[in-house]
Amino acid sequence: MSERRPEDDSIDDAGVERLRTALREDAASGEPVDADLVWRAVMKELPADERRAVIERVAADPAWAQAWRLAMEMSRAATEAEAPAKVLSLTDRKAQGKRFWSGRPVWAAMAAMWVVLVGAVVVLRQQQQGADPERIRGGAAEAITSEVPEATALPRDRFVLRWSGVPQATHWSVQVSSEDLKVFHRVERLEQREYTVPASVLTELPSGARVLWQVEARLPDGGVRRGSTFVNRLQ
Amino acid sequence: MELRHGHSAGASPDAGLETLRRDLEKALARVCPPSLADRRDDLVQVAMMRVVELRKRDPGHADLSSAYLYRVAYTALIDELRRVNARKEVALEEVEQSPVQPVAPGDPERSAGAAQIARAVRDCLQGLVQDRRLAVTLHLQGHTIPEAAELLGWESKRTENLIYRGLSALRACLSTKGITP
């Protein structure tokens, strides 16, 4: 008598592929899709419990499932488009540094000195020009300005962000990330130029952690103006 | 269009647009049902127009990251798909009253089979325990185990077990509907 193995009850890879094909070729329509929500779930910009709520809809609705697959494809393409400019992790940078410098002691020393010199000049020039060290990236810096003093560490229970600019904006979105650029909180449709980050979303961060925040202005014509990323420390 | 990052850096603005267009075409070819094959060019065009309009509207367009532009193109695509499906439903109602039946693009028999299986899968998924349903859903969407685990916020091992057990339950349910995956 042959013994029945547990894997006999599952679906093999070919079977899974057949089901995927059927789901893809199904032309059934479904409920209207909140494209922005699906995109943010796929990009992991939503908290895990909200992502799971979106996946529930994907399980039940063919339109949401199709939107999810499209978001997967497009987000992967977007990531590839941005990949060359991505900041290397510290480990990658160390490894790369090791490979580059090995066997080049004299050149290494000279180049290192040159880098330090150039760096010092750049920093000095920035300071002379009054460049904002708390401005990390983003472009419409003139448009949206932080009203939180940059050197101030904010308390967990009153992590209040304030900004100004873009007088024509109808409402605002705020995105908050940790130092490793992981978005851990986002809020939409704010009507005030002020937002208090809930203490509950800051619990994971240690005291002194740098919190990055970015504001998007929604314009009357549907356009979006993004501000620079500002940084404040957690008290 | 000038994408701030990526392989368009240093290239002409048109090169950035072309990359986005190619990615849109690829995504649609991989994701959309054959019945929409004849609409793909239109869908891509609408999404591209939205991106170009956005660029025109925002003089600081150089600040728009490629991630943001892909997101805009994606949103436009979903809006347009919704419109196409709505028009399809209206057209279907008109066709039902018409004596001449048009031929849909693709293989109608195959489409009907796919629709039947897809419906059965959705029904069966609803009968699974929630955690299994979520894990299997992502697996069927094409995610790897680590990707699914990260999206769900669970450990990889747990996610793998949920997928495995969920697929077993799905198979059992599908077989009661006469479907053998």
Q: Are B106 and B37 in contact (CB under 8 A)?
A: yes
Beta bridge pairs of residue A185: A176
**Model confidence over A14-63: pLDDT tens digits?**
899 999 989 988 878 788 889 989 999 999 989 999 999 999 999 999 99
Which residues fall within 8 angstroms of residue A230, CB to CB, at 6 or more apart? A134, A135, A136, A146, A148, A150, A161, A163, A212, A213, A214
Query: Nearest by CB to A82, which of B54, B66, B85?
Result: B66
Q: What's the token pair of residue B171? A: 């198979």
Q: Rounded distance, CA B105 to CA A15, Å? A: 26
Answer whether A38 sits within 8 Å of B78, measured CB to CB.
Answer: yes
Is the Cβ of B137 closer than 8 Å to some Cβ of chain A? yes
Q: Rounded distance, CA B117 to CA A18, Å? A: 9
State if pTM tops 0.90: no
Chain A: residue nearest B19 by CA?
A81
Kindly list the residues from chain A whose CB atom is less than 8 angstroms away from the CB atom of residue B56.
none
Question: What domains, with CATH codes, occur in chain A?
Answer: 12-83 (no CATH), 90-128 (no CATH), 145-234 (2.60.40.3580)
B167-171 long-range contacts, Cβ below 8 Å, gap at least 24?
A: B167/A10, B167/A11, B167/A16, B167/B136, B167/B139, B168/A6, B168/A9, B168/A10, B168/A11, B169/B124, B169/B127, B169/B128, B169/B132, B170/A11, B170/B121, B170/B124, B170/B125, B170/B128, B170/B136, B171/A9, B171/A10, B171/A11, B171/A15
pLDDT band at A229 (very low <50, low <70, confident <90, very high): confident
Q: Are A176 and A211 in contact (CB under 8 A)?
A: yes
How far is B138 from chain A, CA to nearest CA, in Å?
8
Mean pLDDT of A123-146: 50
Query: Nearest by CB to B70, which of A18, A78, A223?
Result: A78
| Lowest-confidence segment of A105-119, A144-158, B48-62, B110-124 by average pLDDT | A105-119
Number of alpha carbons in the 13 Å side-chain half-sphere of residue A234: 22
Kindly list the residues from chain B whose CB atom is less than 8 angstroms away from the CB atom of residue A29.
85-86, 88-89
**pLDDT for position A128:** 46
% of chain A surpassing 90 pLDDT: 22
Answer whether B79 sits within 8 Å of A225, measured CB to CB.
Answer: no
Chain B: residue nearest A66 by CA?
B31
Beta bridge pairs of residue A187: A174
State the virtual CA torsion across B9, B18, B143, B84 in degrees, nearest 10: 140
Kindly list the residues from chain B whose CB atom is less than 8 angstroms away from the CB atom of residue A227.
none
Is the Cβ of B108 closer than 8 Å to some Cβ of chain A? no
User: Largest Cα–Cα distance in chain A?
Assistant: 86
Q: Rounded distance, CA B159 to CA B163, Å? A: 6
**Residue from B150, B154, B157 nearest B130 by CA:** B154
Answer whether A11 sits within 8 Å of B181, measured CB to CB.
Answer: yes
**Model confidence over B25-61: pLDDT tens digits?**
888 888 877 777 878 888 888 888 888 877 776 655 5
Q: Which residues of chain B have pLDDT under 70?
A: 1-15, 57-64, 88-111
Kindly list the residues from chain B whose CB atom is less than 8 angstroms away from the CB atom of residue A59.
122, 125-126, 133-134, 137
Q: What's the token pair of residue B21? A: 């267009």
What letter does residue B78 receive in the DSSP assignment? H
Answer whether B31 sits within 8 Å of A66, measured CB to CB.
Answer: yes
Q: Are A171 and A218 in contact (CB under 8 A)?
A: yes
**pLDDT for position A123:** 47
Mean pLDDT of A166-172: 85
Q: Rounded distance, CA A219 to CA A110, Å? A: 51
Question: What domains, with CATH codes, occur in chain B?
Answer: 6-96 (no CATH), 108-176 (1.10.10.10)
Kindly list the residues from chain B whose CB atom is less than 8 angstroms away from the CB atom of residue A35.
74-75, 78-79
Is the Cβ of B73 closer than 8 Å to some Cβ of chain A? yes
